[in-house]
Each structure stands twice: as C-alpha cells, then as structure tokens.
Amino acid sequence: MAQPATGPAVFGGILIATIIGVIGFGVLSDPGPERRVSTERSAEAATGRAEASADSSTSTSAPPVTAPDDGKTAAQRTLSLVDTITDPALRPKSVVASGSGLFFAQNMMYAHNVAVYNRDLEQVKVIDDEVVPAFFDLPGNSALKGGPVEAVFTSDGSAAYVSQYKLYGPGQDNPGTDVCTPSGFDDSFVYRIPTDTLEIDQVIPVGPVPKFVAITHDDSTLLVSNWCGYDLSIVDTATGKETRRVDIGRYPRGIAVAPDDSVAYVTAMGTSDIAIVDLSTFEVEWIKDVGQAPRSVALSPDGKQLFLTLNEDAEVKRIDTATRKVTGEVVTGNQPRSMVLSDDGTALYVVNYADDTLSKVRTSDMVELQELPTRHHPIGVTYDKATRRVWVACYVGALMVFQDA
C-alpha cells in the first residue's frame, strides 16, 4: 500500500486489406534475434508472435546502454528485434521512456501496477497502484486500487505522472467505462512517482477515466485527457492541484504540446476532430474532419508538423500546423493506436493493434519503410534516444525491444 514517500514533494477499427510489398527495407521483415526474459522457447518465438509466458528469468547478457554516433538519421537506419520481455507482472497498456534510463510499463487493472525496467532490460521494481487518499491529504481512509494507463516524465526524467483509468474500493460506485457520456462518473487520480524513490509521493484528483497525460516543456503544467468527462484537466504541478477543466468533446485521448508551450493539440477520438487548446487563455480552436477516430498525436521537433493516428481509417496523417491542412498520409495497418517520433523527427514508429505489427514511417514523404511482426495487440510504443531503441508494449503480456541501427 502506497504512503507518501520521503523527499521532494475503442474503438474497433475497420478491417482493410493488409498492404504487402516491399518499401525500403521491406514489409513484414524478419524480426531478427530474440533474447527473451521468459525461459520458455517454442516455434512461436521465432515468428515474434508467441503468447506471453508466465515463467520469467533475467537476460543472459546486458545490451549497450548508449548507441555510438553513426552519422545517420533515424530514417536511414533499420529496425530489428533485440529482445522480448515477458513477466507475470506485465499486462501493459503503455510503455514510456524516462530519458534517463528507466522505462515505465503501465499494467492497468489487469495487474494493478507499474513495472519499471532499466536499459539493461532488467526489472527494477513493480509499483503497486494501491493508495489510501488520507495519506495524501485527500478525503478517504480506505485503500483504493487504481488502473495505470499512461505516463509522462518531467523534462529531466526525475518524476513520472501516471494516470489511473478508474478506482476500485469503497465509495467508487459509478466508475467510468470505455463507452460513456459525461453523466456523473466517479473521478479518478493521477499519481506522481519520483524516479529516485520509485514510490508514489503525490495523488492528484482529476476527471473520470483519465487516459493520456502530457506535460509542458517547462514542467509547470500537467494535461490529462478525461475520457468519460469529455474534457481536459489542467494541473499546476507546483501545487499538485487541478486548476480547471477544458471541454473537448467525445472521448478526448492523445495530447501533444507545442515546443513553446503555447498550445496543446488534443484528439477527440469519438469525433473526426482535433482540439487546439491555448494554454494561456484556455480557449479552443479546431482542426476539423481529419478522419475517423483520431487517437495519438505527435509534433515534429520544430512544431511545424503534427502527426496523428486514425484508429478506424488505418492511416497516419501529417498536418501543417500553420495552415492546419493535411500534407501527407500513409496506410500502416489495422487500428494504428500509439506512435512516437525519433529524436531527430525523421521517423515515426507506429503500433498497429489489430495487425500485430510495428510500422516505421519516414516523415519527409510519409512512406512506410518497414513493418515488423509483434506479439498480440501492440498498444504502446516509446523511443529511447540514448540507445536508439524502440520499446513496444503488447497487451498479451510482453515488452518488445527493437534496435534502430
């Protein structure tokens, strides 16, 4: 049970034909060698599509913690599978790199924990999601379980904020679900977890079914998309208090903050629209009719290009943020859920949930360079700049680690 730490304070996608062909390095290329944490090996493991094993052990050798400068852009490199981690504690909805060597896998209500790994692919800790609100100066003396969904780290990687899908325990009589309207569902929490202690040290009340979390580059403001509240929570990180909620529309999901912290782009997954929230006035403008079920968004390093996944259209689109017009698109796979940009902005890594694949897309012309097989239901993806590695969270109970070299 977590107590305050000492120290500083859905949609189902439409089915489309799988694209088969050779682009760049080839589609559905061999996933390469696999060093699994699980001791169980089978014919399935060679395909990269084996179900997760409950039997786990430690990898036999440690990978390099940094990648040497090779003079290439991310778009010029080739992805290959390095390792697959399986563990009874894993049922990951997302995986997020801290930038300072740790990786948080959020395991929802299926495991009620955050599993933490390092760059050597070793499990550092499993953080239970149970809290007693009174320990954090909130109402309630009974223990509540959470359901970790997504995480975001501060700019220096010193702390993570982790959203809790819903709460389980006394007083939680009307929890939200994946199909909901804003009609009195129970609010939930975001937890703060410093990376030096790996203990929950702050619990922040937000709206019902908080999903994605983002933070401004100056670390002053936390943004939380409340799925069943149809709104966005604005949190002052200095006080750990929610200061307002901004109406977004049906099923707010992905969030991307402009490099100058002027605006945030927020997808409304139950619509075809993207909200542009002014972070000074909190007024909202719109990019309309971008496609069905916009889910994940990411901004180029200069903020001039916005990328988004369309869960029901099986596409990834590129939008010019000045003109707000679509300037490129590519079909990746069925139900592209999450994506992440390389540090230089030349490549996108997209997980295709219904196809069990990972797509690598060149951002300059929106061409799919590679499509690699994954375990069942890849749902989260993150990029670690120091190692040039892409981590993929698969709902089946696995983390897959790919090297871009």
User: So what's the pLDDT on residue 43?
Assistant: 28
User: So what's the pLDDT on residue 17?
Assistant: 33
Which stretch of 4-8, 16-20, 369-373 has the lowest confidence by average pLDDT? 16-20
Give the pLDDT confidence of 26-40 residue by residue, as tens digits: 333 343 333 344 322
pLDDT at 120 over 90: yes
pLDDT at 16 over 90: no
Which stretch of 44-53, 166-175, 234-243, 306-315 has the lowest confidence by average pLDDT? 44-53
Cα distances from 277 to residues 107, 133, 296, in angstroms, run 29, 31, 16
pLDDT > 90 in the chain, percent: 82
136 DSSP 8-state letter:
G
* Nearest to 327, CA basis, from 319, 339, 335: 319
User: So what's the pLDDT on residue 1?
Assistant: 65
Q: What distance in Å separates the CA atoms of residue 104 and residue 150, rounded to the nearest whole number?
A: 9
286, two tokens: 């719109």
What end-to-end distance do the CA atoms of the chain give, in Å? 42
User: So what's the pLDDT on residue 65?
Assistant: 65
Domains and their CATH numbers in the chain: 74-404 (2.130.10.10)
| Confidence label for 66 from pLDDT (cuts 50, 70 and 90) | confident
β-strand partners of 277: 264, 284
User: So what's the pLDDT on residue 263?
Assistant: 98
The model carries a pTM of: 0.86
pLDDT at 8 over 90: no
pLDDT at 54 over 90: no
With contact defined as beta carbons under 8 Å apart, do 45 and 32 qualify? no
β-strand partners of 215: 222
Give the pLDDT confidence of 138-163 residue by residue, as tens digits: 999 999 999 999 999 999 999 999 99
User: So what's the pLDDT on residue 61?
Assistant: 37
Mean pLDDT taken over the chain: 88
Q: Strands of 216-356 (E only): list them.
A: 221-226, 231-236, 241-247, 252-257, 263-268, 273-278, 284-287, 294-299, 305-310, 315-320, 325-331, 336-341, 347-352
3-state secondary structure of 69: coil
With contact defined as beta carbons under 8 Å apart, do 226 and 252 qualify? yes
357, two tokens: 């694949």
